[in-house]
Structure 1
């Protein structure tokens, strides 16, 4: 089984299949196809599973399947594919046409279990056993219409976003590092709904009886075992925009770097660059950047739990660590809004905060308005997050995993929107 960059999805598959009687050979992350096939031969595997998180994983999966074809191993090894970068249509149509054996898409670990059961039943010749039907791609009429609504060849490149909003004065230009942030400072920003339901998979009637007691237990353990190393590097930079580009300037007004963002091909035709003063306006705007982390110790602790088969504790601590990193990001985002003088618009309660009922959106790399993960390299050059122990992988993933980055946009109309080809 091959994972891509971060372990949690792959490890969850390992846990579910192992607990249901399967022997899983977990190779870890970023394994070449040769290592996968060597392990499959050595352990006499029945099925090969691979997952892809990043866009380029789609190419890697295709190359891996072609390698199995070339080695005449396709008939021997059915393949289950999953991960955020892959879709059912891509796997069960495009890749199925390429692969000379069976290939199926698993949306999550539980669908992977059902596929394993079906594959093994077919292999054992159980009467009536069959794989699920391949998913047929459907092209909706709306998609066809959308393709005709592209940006005009000529005409305004900017949306109707206001250009007369005040530009705030930041408290400083450049970067600052803040380390040793106490848990009590950001724990109140923890999204318990995302933790209990999304990460821990608890039903509503289990939140009070199971969720909150377990949360108190973990928070106490984090404090007593000193597993958190919360730190932030953030900064403010002068900038202007030009068409779809946000141009970050040095203090002398020269270009330092630029980000190119996708533009909607319909609706308001929004682009992140529109929320900043244009180069032609003669005015200079300001953009905030931040990287936060809760450190590497908590990741080491989760890995230790997985290694000792403490699966419940592993899943709970991993989920909590991810949500604490997000809580820290929200906490510091509020700090940035306050420093820019736009925090007066913040709602009183956390619910309003989580529904973004404030001025000044925080956009993390990889999301629809700013999908290009390679832009993390530009943020890293500007902020130098290695000062708080955060590094970028070759795939532009943040390590430790419990870290987030963001572009903070002060414009009052800034909101979350879809742009480019992201669903």
Structure 2
């Protein structure tokens, strides 16, 4: 029998133990017939483009003026400020593994209970370090500049081998244009206390509570990141394109995009060291491991782009 996630695994083990102990009514789920889907050999008609061919991304979009250049630290962000950005679908269905039928009867009451617990115990320490930096692009590179226009560091991103040939660097003015663009960088965290609390639950073999709190802590970090990205759009003066509904926000139906390291458009986790050098996230208690992982785990980083055509795309198969 196969469990799709940790919560289904718990239910399966509960049923197994019930059967072994002879609990009345306990039974394992019915076995399912394994089906192997017949697949035809994939045929690729389009051949990869040779050479460094840039995408068709517009180069005449307005460049917003940031409120400052450099970095700022914001601590003590209250839960009420970012709780509204919590993606409940990702939490209930993705993290907690609940069916639609259980969301209202089980999911929402559990969520309210956990949020009350987090506030009552003071387990949240939401903080942000963010900044705006002058930049230009060159081929597949995004070059961060200092106040004198000299190169400070650069990021190299993969380019699609097919289709539009998108590369994250294309969303910024080229070095040859003579214009200077702007990029946002941010690191957010909900602190280490909530991670310590989840570890305590795991040590106590309270696996269901552990999985619920861990899933919630990860989604709260994402909610904080979404909330701060909205702040950045407002400071750039491009928030007028924001959708009215939260669902539209989660579908990124706004101008610009927030790219976290490790995703297909910017897969190189070692670039986190460059972001850490620019933002100094240790000022909010976030540190980078030797494996380029953020600690505490309930933290995210991002490159924030203002270009109207910026969206999530897969650069897999890049040269």
Q: 1:247 to 1:384 in 2, by over 3 A?
A: same
The equivalent of 1:313 in structure 2 is 209
**Secondary structure of the equivalent of 1:206?**
helix
CA deviations over 1:129-155 (Å, ceiling 9, x no partner): xxx9xx9xx89423xx27x622223xx
The equivalent of 1:152 in structure 2 is 50
Q: TM-score, normalised by structure 2?
A: 0.88
Q: Does 1:409 align with 2:310?
A: no
Matches within 5 A, 1:51-62: none
Find the structure with the greater CA-based Rg. 1
Q: For the residues of structure 2 that align with 1:245 and 1:223, how far apart are their CA atoms?
A: 43
Q: For the residues of structure 1 that align with 2:274 and 2:153, how far apart are their CA atoms?
A: 7
Q: Which 5+ residue runs of structure 1 have no aligned equivalent? A: 1-8, 22-131
The equivalent of 2:72 in structure 1 is 176
1:141 to 32, 42, 46: 42
**Secondary structure of the equivalent of 1:197?**
helix
Matches within 5 A, 1:332-411: 332-411=228-307
Q: 1:140 to 1:372 in 2, by over 3 A?
A: farther
> Post-superposition shift, 1:420?
2.9
**Secondary structure of the equivalent of 1:213?**
helix
Dislocated runs of 4+, deviation >4 Å = 9-21
Matches within 5 A, 1:20-419: 140-142=41-43, 145=44, 149-153=47-51, 157-419=53-315
Count the aligned residue pairs.
299
Q: For the residues of structure 2 that align with 1:421 and 1:233, how far apart are their CA atoms?
A: 33
Q: TM-score, normalised by structure 1?
A: 0.67
Q: For the residues of structure 1 that align with 2:100 and 2:8, how far apart are their CA atoms?
A: 24
**Secondary structure of the equivalent of 2:316?**
coil
The equivalent of 1:129 in structure 2 is none
CA RMSD of aligned residues (A): 2.5
Q: For the residues of structure 1 that align with 2:93 and 2:11, how far apart are their CA atoms?
A: 18
